[in-house]
Amino acid sequence: MCGIAGFTFEEKSTSFDKDIMAMTEAMSHRGPDADGHWIGDGVALGHKRLSIIDLSDSSAQPMEDYTGRYTLVFNGEIYNFKEIKAKLKDYPFRSEGDTEMILAAYSKWGKDAFNHFNGMFALAIWDKVEEELILVRDRMGIKPIYYYQNGDKLVFASEIRSLLSSGMVPAVLNQEALPEYLQYYSVNSPRTLIKDVRMLKAGEMGIWKKGEWRTKSFWSLAKQGHEVREDSYEQLCKENLQILSEAVERRMISDVPLGAFLSGGIDSSAIVALMAQSSEQAVHTFSIVFDEEEFDESPYSMQIANKYNTAHHPIKLSPSHFLKKLPDALDSMDHPSGDGINSYVVSEATKNEGFTVALSGLGGDELYAGYPVFKQYQKLQSYSPVFAVPAPLRKVGAGLLGNFVGKAKTGRLQQMLESPDSNFESIYPLFREIYSPKERGNILLTKGKPFSFTEVFSPEELISIGRLPIFNQVGIGEMSTYTQNVLLRDTDQMSMAHSLEVRVPFFDHELVSFALSISDKDKEPEYPKKFLVDSLGDLLPKEVVFRKKMGFVFPWIEWLKGPLKELANSKIESLGKRGIFRESELQNYWRGFLQGDSSIYWIKIWLLVVLESWMEKNGIEA
C-alpha cells in the first residue's frame, strides 16, 4: 500500500524536483518506508512506499521495465500476481513482488493487462515511446486516484492534499457539489469538493496523450448480474463458499504481520473463519470492546476467537477515547465525510499492536441484502401501480400520510411520490438522502447540482440496471455510491493515516459478479444474510447469526450539545461567513438542533462542522 503522485509538462523546470517531492511529502503517512521520484521527458512521477510484498529495494518505485520504455507508480495489491507472472516467462524479472509484474503484463498485453488483475489498485504508467500517460483505478474503487486537468497539463495523486501541495491546483471549493455533499454526506466520483478536481471512477482508465485527456471503462458494475443463475440452491451456496474462500486466501499473501478486524457480526466472523481454514498459524484478530453492555460485542467476537483459536487482541475503548481522537480524525480527512471516526480509531489500535495489514468484513451487506434498504426498495416496487396516478394527486397523498408516519418522514415520502416513476434512477437515490431538497434550498446560497446517477452510469447502463432483479439493483446502487464514496474512501483515508493496509475479500470482483447472478428468491433475507449464512454452513455459531443487531453508536447528540458545542458553534459561525450558506438560516438550524427540533438530526450539524474543519485545514477558498 502506498501513495502515488505525478504531473505532465511540456518543458522541464528546475522546480519540478521540489514540486513532486512536495506532493509525496503531503501523504507521507501512506508510505513511511521509502520514497522515490522520477522525472522524464514529459512527466514527473512520485511514490511513497508502505512495504508489504517483497520488502527489498528491488521493488522500489517509480519502477522502469527492463527496456526503459515504461515507468510505473502503483498503490495497492495484485493478489494473483504469481499466477500472472507464470504466464510471462519471457520477461527477465529482477524482483519478487507484484509491481514489476504490472510492467511485464503491460509490456505484453498493453491496456488489456488490467483485465487480468485481481486486486485493489490505483496506478500510473508512462510510455516514453508513445508519450502517453495511463491512469487506472480498480474495478470496485477500493483505491482512490484524483486528478486535475487544465489545458495540456494533468496532475494526479492518491490524495487531494497531495494535488494541492503541488502548487498547480487551486484550492477552491467546488460549489456545484455542495448540494450533493449535504444530500449524501460525501460526493460521489467522479466529482469532488475541489473545483476542477475529479476522481477516476471504479473500473475506469484515463489516457493523457499530447495534451489531450480521455477516460474509458475497462469493467462495469452495471454489466454484472444479467444472467441469473438457475442452479439448485445447494449448488449456488457451495459455489459461493468456494469463491469467497479463494478471495480470502488470496488476500492473506503478505511479507509483514497480517490480522483481521473481528466485530463478532456475520461478515467479519465469516472472514476470520475462512482465514483460519487457510492458515497453519493462528490468525490475529482485533476487536473493540466497551464497558457499556448495550453496544459491547465482545461475547460474540470472543466466541469466534475461541472457536478458531485466534490470537485475539481485544482493545478496550470508551466513548471519551473516541471523543479525544476526533481532532486527529478530522485532520486526517482528505475529503470530507460524515463518517470515518470508527475506522480511524480501530486502525490506530491495530497498527499500535504491530500490524501492517488487516482483513475486513466490509461488503457482506451489499452482496447479500443485509441492509434494510433492500427490503424497503423491494416493498416500494410492489406499489409501482401508484405511479400511474397523476403526480399532483400523489403529492396530496404523501401529505396525508405525513399525519401517520411523522414529520421527519413526510418529506421523503413526498419526494418519492412526486417522482416521475418508480424506476431505479428516480427512486433509489432518495433512500440515503440526509438533507432534503427543501432544506438544501433553505440554507445554501449556491445553486449547485444535486446528485444524479447520470454522473456515475451512462444512459445505457441505467437502462441495463433497471432490468435487473430488485436486490441486484439495490446492491449496485449501494456499491457505486454509499459504499465506494463513504465506506471505502473512509476506510482508505483513515487506515492509511496510520500506515495500515485494509483488504476487503467481499469486494473480490469475481465474488461480486457471482453474487449479482443470484436471484432475489435465493437471496431473500428470511434471516440475516440468509444466502451467505447458508453458504457457510456450520462455520458460524447460531448465536452469532441470530444475535441482536448491535454496533457502537456514538452519543453525538450529547456531544454536540456538550463537549463539542463550542467547536460546532465556532465552525458553523465561520462557515456562515464564507458566502456559500445563508448565515441566518445556518444559525437558525444550529439553534433548532440545540433546542431539540427532532427533524434536525445530529448528522446534519456534524456535516457542517466537518466541512468547515476540512476547508480550514486545507486552506480551501469558497
Active-site residues: which are they? 2
Say which residues have a Cβ less than 8 Å from residue 498's Cβ, sequence separation at least 6.
Answer: 29, 344, 347, 348, 350, 351
Amino acid making up residue 181: Y
Q: Where are the beta strands (DSSP E) in 340-420?
A: 357-359
Q: From 207, 157, 152, select the one nearest 9 (Cα to Cα).
A: 152
Return d(Cα 272, Cα 312) in angstroms, integer: 11
Distance (Å, whole) CA 398 – CA 396: 5
DSSP code for 293: G
AA identity, residue 356: T
Dihedral of CA 279/280/283/284: which sign? negative
Amino acid sitting at position 212 = E
Task: Give me the residue label for grid cell 471504479.
Answer: 202
Q: Give CA–CA dist 145/617, Å, rounded.
A: 21
Alpha carbon distance 178, 181 (integer Å) = 5
Consecutive H or E run containing 393: helix 391-405
Hey, what's the cell of 351?
497498527
Amino acid at 268: S
Contact partners, residue 534, CB within 8 Å, separation at least 6: 233, 237
Distance CA 87, CA 234 (A): 35
Q: How many other CB atoms are found less than 10 A from the CB of residue 392? A: 9
Nearest Cα neighbor of 506 from 312, 250, 259, 283 is 250
Q: Which helix (H) or strand (E) holds 452?
A: none
Phi, psi values for residue 29, rounded to 5°: -65, -25
Using alpha carbons only, give the angle 102, 107, 109 rounded to the nearest 5 degrees: 90
Cell of 204: 475506469
- Displacement of CA 320 from its chain's centroid (Å): 27
Mapped to the 3 state alphabet, what secondary structure does 317-356 carry? CCHHHHHHHHHHHHHCCCCCCCCCHHHHHHHHHHHHCCCC
Lookup: cell for 245: 474462500
Contacts of 421 (CB under 8 A, 6+ apart): 384, 387
Q: Could you give the dihedral angle defined by the CA atoms of residues 150, 154, 158 and 160, in that order, rounded to the nearest 10 degrees?
A: -20
- Crossing angle of the two packed helices 407-418 and 391-405, in degrees rounded to 10: 160
In the block, cell 476467537 appears at 305
**At which residue does the C-alpha cell 488487516 appear?**
358
